[in-house]
Structure 1
């Protein structure tokens, strides 16, 4: 169920019976010469919408701009400062709590959001408002991703390329896949910016001239479809697990 398609009386019926909502989040940032800036939020929304369709749980509108200052050197990248992002997501989520939702899955497709979503979840749990957890699609199927790709990226690499080939093939610049591979680097290790155990880089541009890593020519829509199906199944199972829990058991444990 997508919240914006419903009327308020229909949603009243949902809130009376259900307590779970999915919140898709991504970014609007460079993904190399071959993928659109919308890559992350397109992926997040596709997963959240599909899981909501299969399970009947509520899906909210997508948060399209995230914490992406590390991509700022590339044209068009948008971002909000981390404290602003955390406060916005927290306020957004508290709206759902007001209507009776007490557990949320942040369906996230941008690595730069992860730590901040975990912090928001902690705030909401610590004051016993709700239980909110972050889910990232590729983290739910790591073995499959490793099996499909010799070098998966990460950023703008073959796994994201394959996913957009599956979801929005019209937005993939297929004639730039070799450019993406040859103008980027295979991995962070290959960039040589980890020195003596320290990550000496702050921005994507410190690692890669064109903003991406991995071998994008290894991507296909068929691989994207396989990842999408397996990850959606994981997300649906997570939502059902969450729905089955007693709310009291999700709250912080008492002091020892």
Structure 2
């Protein structure tokens, strides 16, 4: 049940089928010279929609912006603060809770450390605010990386490399524009740098040349399977006061 495509009566009727909602979080962030700025959002939305075909649940409209620190100096990246991100998550949950939803899963396609921590912090804070609700925060990219072991050839592949290029070649091939060189940036240990692009010029962390649409299809299938398992676990959790 895709909320942005539903009417008011359809939403109300859907509550009889499910009290679970996936909230996709993405980013507007550089993904090398070959992938769209919306890569993280596209990946999360594709997986959420596929999961909704396999088990009854609501899929909320995506949040297109995230907190992006390492890529903040790269053209096209639009980063929001962790405070804003937390409040977006909380406000969306508050509205959906008021309509009867009780299982909330933040599905983030962006795997930045501060970004994920902000979502987790918000979820932890909401545990006490909504004692009859269940919460989960899952990183879509990390599911792809972990489930894709044995399929992915590039050790340490992390951003706009083999994994993400494969995913977009499968789901949105028309948005892949050319190719990009292999890149593994090295930031100075422990030092906070202003010009992050100096240490990461190409915006790739991995090897896009090893990407294929076939790998992308398999990765998506694996992530959807794992996500559905998580949804079913969340729905059977006993709420604790």
Instruction: With the length of structure 2 as denominator, give the TM-score of the two structures.
Output: 0.90
CA offset at residue 18 of structure 1?
A: 2.5
Q: 1:81 to 1:222 in 2, by over 3 A?
A: same
Tell me the alpha carbon deviations over residues 161-202 of structure 1, each in whole angstroms, 9 at most, x when there is no partner: 11111110111123x33xx32xxx32x5xx2623xxx36557
**Unmatched 5+ residue regions in structure 1?**
252-256
CA contact (8 A) 2:148 2:222 kept: no
Tell me the alpha carbon deviations over residues 96-147 of structure 1, each in whole angstroms, 9 at most, x when there is no partner: 1111111111111101221111011011102235322111223235454332
Task: Provide the rounded CA distance (Å) in 2 between the counterparts of 1:50 and 1:78.
Answer: 27
CA offset at residue 203 of structure 1?
A: 6.6
Q: 1:5 to 1:192 in 2, by over 3 A?
A: closer
CA offset at residue 155 of structure 1?
A: 1.5
- Aligned partner of 1:160 in structure 2 is 164
More moved, 203-212 vs 231-240: 203-212
Question: Is 2:223 the counterpart of 1:231?
Answer: yes
Mapping for residues 205-220 of structure 1, pairs under 5 Å? 205-220=197-212
CA offset at residue 239 of structure 1?
A: 0.8
Task: Provide the rounded CA distance (Å) in 2 between the counterparts of 1:20 and 1:151.
Answer: 35
CA contact (8 A) 2:44 2:108 kept: yes
**Unmatched 5+ residue regions in structure 2?**
none
More moved, 32-41 vs 5-14: 5-14
- Aligned partner of 1:254 in structure 2 is none
Quick check: which one's helix share is greater?
Answer: 1
- Aligned partner of 1:245 in structure 2 is 237
Task: Provide the rounded CA distance (Å) in 2 between the counterparts of 1:225 and 1:17.
Answer: 29
Mapping for residues 36-115 of structure 1, pairs under 5 Å? 36-112=36-112, 113-115=115-117
Count of residues paired in the alignment: 237
CA contact (8 A) 1:41 1:64 kept: yes
Q: What is the RMSD of the two structures over their aligned residues, measured on CA atoms?
A: 2.0
Larger radius of gyration: 1
Q: 1:158 to 1:142 in 2, by over 3 A?
A: closer
Task: Provide the rounded CA distance (Å) in 1 between the counterparts of 2:64 and 2:93.
Answer: 15
Q: 1:202 to 1:82 in 2, by over 3 A?
A: farther
- Aligned partner of 2:139 in structure 1 is 136
Mapping for residues 172-191 of structure 1, pairs under 5 Å? 172-174=176-178, 176-177=179-180, 180-181=181-182, 185-186=183-184, 188=185, 191=186
Instruction: With the length of structure 1 as denominator, give the TM-score of the two structures.
Output: 0.85
Q: 1:120 to 1:16 in 2, by over 3 A?
A: same
